[in-house]
C-alpha cells in the first residue's frame, strides 16, 4: 500500500460528502463557568480540589471559547473543515439538570447562535449532548448516574436540545465515552465525581459495583433519548444519532490461545460493554462470566429499546495495546497491557501519555473489526496524539509537532486503506483536538491540539499538524469538479 502524504493525493478520492473536522468538549474549552445562568457541573468543584489535576488547573477559563467562539469558527474555516464536533453543556441548558427544573434561555440562545454561525461558514454541526459535565445538582439530588432516576432527566434534556436545535443539527451523539464516565469517574476515582473504593482517593464509592450500575444507566439514558428522537423528532428533522464509544485495538502479546482470548476480553470490556447491547442486544458473555450478579440485567422492555438504538457506529480510538493473559484488573477485562513487544522493542512512538503510542495498522484492524461485528457505517469521532513534553517546549518548537503529523499521516492512511482496500464504510474523521485545552485530570500539562494555545493570552497558532490535515483532506476529498 502507498502511504498517502499531504503532498501526494490519493488515486481514489474520498466521497465528497465525507466529513472531516476537529472535535472538542464544552468543559474543556468554554470557560465562563458562572456566566449567563450556567449551573454548576460536577467538574467545576472537582477540578478545583487540590491534587485532582496534575498541574492544579481547572476549567474556569479553559480556552475561553464561550467568549471567543467567533474566533474558533474563523479558525475552523481557515482549515477548510467540512464539520465540527462540539458538545453542549447540560448545565447551560438546564442549570439544575432535572425534568422539572427551568430551562435557561441564554444557554439556548448561545448554542443557537453558534450553530447558525457554523452553518453560515459552510461547516456541518456534529453535536455531543453529554461529554462528562453532569449538572452538580443531579449528583447532589440523587447520586447522578448511580440512580435510575437519571434516565428520565437525561431524556428530557436531550428532548430540549432536539427541539431547540434539531431543525439545523442533523448529526447527534448522545454521549461521549461512557466507559470513562463509569470507570474513571466511579471506579478509579480520577475523574469527577471521583468515587472509588480507594479511601486514599475518595471518602465514598464501591469500585466493585458502582461502575457497572453507572454503565447500565448510561446505556438506558442513551437508548430512551434515541427512542424519543426517533418518535418525536427524526421524522421531520431527518437527522441521525449514535453514541461515541472509546476503545482501542487489542493485539495478542504473543500468538498463543490464552493471549488471543485475552485480546478479545479487552475488546469485550472496552467496546462490547456498550456496543454489544446497543447493536446486538446483549452484554458480552465474558462480562457476564466475570461479573456475575454485579452486572445489571435489562428487562425485556428495556432491551427492546436498547437494541438498535444507534444509526451509525461512532468510534473514539487512539492507540493499540498488546494484551497478555493473567491480569486481575476487571476494568481491563483481567488483561495485562503493554506496548513492549517480546523482543523488547516498542510498538510505536511514545506520546506524553502513558497509555498512548502510535500504531496505525491497529486502527485499520479496529475499523474492520467494528464494521464486521456491528454492520453500520463508521464515523471516527475522535483520534489524536499528545507530543511528549510538548508543554515544556517553546511555542516556536511546539508548532513543529512532527510526531503528531506522523501520527495523523499514519491514521489517515489507515482509514483510507480500510475504505478503499477493505470496503469499510467510514464516513467521517474528527481529530482530537481543535485546540490545546483543559485535559481533565492532566490539567493543561498535556496538549492534544492541532492549534497551539498560549493560555496566558488565549491566542491561537496553527501547528504543522493542522496544516497537514487541512492539505490532506483538501487534496483527497472529491469535489464536484473531480
Contact (CB, 8 A) for 477 and 461: no
Cα 121–chain centre separation: 24
Contact (CB, 8 A) for 428 and 18: yes
3 state SS of 431: strand
- Residue 3 CA to residue 5 CA, distance in Å, equals 7
Q: What does the block give as the cell for 227?
A: 427512542
DSSP letter string over 319-353?
A: -EEEEEE----GGGTSEEEESB-TTS-BSS-B-SS
Considering only CA atoms, which of 22, 36, 24, 21 is closest in space to residue 62?
Answer: 24
Considering only CA atoms, which of 109, 18, 34, 41 is closest in space to residue 69?
Answer: 109
- Residue 380 CA to residue 244 CA, distance in Å, equals 9
Based on the number of CB atoms within 10 Å of its own CB, is 469 exposed (0-12), middle (13-18) or buried (19 or more)? buried
Contact (CB, 8 A) for 5 and 40: no
Contact (CB, 8 A) for 249 and 366: yes
Considering only CA atoms, which of 316, 315, 311, 333 is closest in space to residue 324?
Answer: 333
- Residue 434 CA to residue 86 CA, distance in Å, equals 10
Q: Is 177 a catalytic residue?
A: yes
Based on the number of CB atoms within 10 Å of its own CB, is 473 exposed (0-12), middle (13-18) or buried (19 or more)? buried
Contact (CB, 8 A) for 93 and 160: yes
Q: What does the block give as the cell for 357?
A: 503510542
Q: What does the block give as the cell for 56?
A: 492544579
Across 148-177, b (16+ Cβ under 10 Å) vs e yields: ebbbebbbbbbbbbbebbbebbebbbbbbb
User: Euclidean distance between the first and final Cα of the chain, in Å?
Assistant: 23
Catalytic option among 330, 382, 390, 439: 382
Q: Is 152 a catalytic residue?
A: no
Q: What does the block give as the cell for 389?
A: 513534553
**Residue 268 per-residue DSSP state:** I
3 state SS of 211: helix
Catalytic option among 177, 210, 330, 336: 177
- Residue 149 CA to residue 6 CA, distance in Å, equals 50
Q: What are phi and psi of 273, to 5 degrees?
A: -50, -40
Q: What does the block give as the cell for 402?
A: 512532527
- Residue 470 CA to residue 435 CA, distance in Å, equals 15
Residues known to be catalytic: 177, 382
Amino acid at each position: 500500500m502507498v502511504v498517502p502524504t499531504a503532498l501526494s493525493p490519493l488515486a481514489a478520492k474520498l466521497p465528497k460528502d465525507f466529513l472531516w473536522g476537529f472535535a472538542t468538549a464544552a468543559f474543556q474549552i468554554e470557560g465562563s463557568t458562572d456566566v449567563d445562568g450556567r449551573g454548576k457541573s460536577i467538574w467545576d468543584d472537582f477540578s478545583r480540589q487540590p491534587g485532582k489535576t496534575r498541574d492544579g488547573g481547572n476549567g474556569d477559563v479553559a480556552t475561553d471559547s464561550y467568549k471567543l467562539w467567533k474566533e474558533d469558527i474563523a479558525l475552523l474555516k481557515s482549515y477548510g473543515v467540512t464539520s465540527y464536533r462540539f458538545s453542549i453543556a447540560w448545565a447551560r441548558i438546564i442549570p439544575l439538570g432535572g425534568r422539572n427544573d427551568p430551562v435557561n434561555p441564554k444557554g439556548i440562545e448561545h448554542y443557537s447562535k453558534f450553530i447558525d454561525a457554523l452553518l453560515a461558514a459552510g461547516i456541518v454541526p456534529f453535536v455531543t449532548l453529554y461529554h462528562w459535565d453532569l449538572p452538580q445538582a443531579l449528583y447532589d439530588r440523587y447520586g447522578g448516574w448511580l440512580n435510575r432516576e437519571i434516565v428520565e432527566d437525561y431524556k428530557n434534556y436531550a428532548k430540549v436540545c432536539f427541539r431547540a436545535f434539531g431543525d439545523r443539527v442533523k448529526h447527534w451523539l448522545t454521549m461521549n465515552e461512557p466507559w470513562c464516565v463509569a470507570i474513571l469517574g466511579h471506579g478509579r476515582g480520577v475523574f469527577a465525581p471521583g468515587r472509588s473504593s480507594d479511601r486514599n482517593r475518595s471518602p465514598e464509592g464501591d469500585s466493585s459495583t458502582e461502575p457497572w450500575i453507572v454503565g447500565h444507566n448510561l446505556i438506558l439514558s442513551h437508548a430512551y433519548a434515541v427512542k424519543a428522537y426517533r418518535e418525536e423528532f427524526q421524522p421531520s428533522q431527518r437527522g441521525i444519532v449514535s453514541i461515541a464509544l472509546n476503545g482501542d485495538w487489542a493485539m495478542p502479546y504473543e500468538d498463543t490461545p490464552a493471549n488471543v482470548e485475552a485480546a478479545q476480553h479487552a475488546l469485550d470490556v472496552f467496546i462490547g460493554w456498550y456496543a454489544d447491547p446497543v447493536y446486538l442486544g446483549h452484554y458480552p458473555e465474558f462480562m457476564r462470566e466475570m461479573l456475575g450478579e454485579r452486572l445489571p440485567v435489562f428487562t425485556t422492555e428495556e432491551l427492546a429499546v436498547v437494541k438498535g438504538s444507534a444509526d451509525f457506529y461512532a468510534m473514539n480510538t487512539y492507540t493499540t495495546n498488546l494484551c497478555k493473559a493473567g491480569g486481575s484488573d476487571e476494568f481491563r477485562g483481567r488483561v495485562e497491557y503493554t506496548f513492549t513487544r517480546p523482543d523488547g522493542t516498542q510498538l510505536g512512538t511514545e506520546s506524553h501519555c502513558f497509555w498512548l503510542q502510535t500504531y496505525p495498522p491497529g486502527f485499520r484492524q479496529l475499523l474492520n473489526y467494528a464494521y464486521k461485528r456491528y454492520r453500520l457505517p463508521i464515523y471516527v469521532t475522535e483520534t489524536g496524539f499528545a507530543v511528549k513534553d510538548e508543554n515544556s517546549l517553546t511555542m516556536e518548537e511546539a508548532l513543529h509537532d512532527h510526531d503528531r503529523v506522523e501520527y495523523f499521516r499514519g491514521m489517515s492512511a489507515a482509514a483510507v486503506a480500510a475504505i478503499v482496500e477493505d470496503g469499510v464504510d467510514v464516513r467521517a474523521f474528527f481529530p482530537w483536538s481543535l485546540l490545546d485545552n483543559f485535559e481533565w485530570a492532566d490539567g493543561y500539562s498535556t496538549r492534544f491540539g492541532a492549534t497551539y494555545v498560549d493560555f496566558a493570552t488565549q491566542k491561537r497558532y496553527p501547528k504543522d499538524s493542522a496544516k497537514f490535515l487541512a492539505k490532506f483532506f483538501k487534496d483527497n476529498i472529491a469535489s464536484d469538479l473531480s
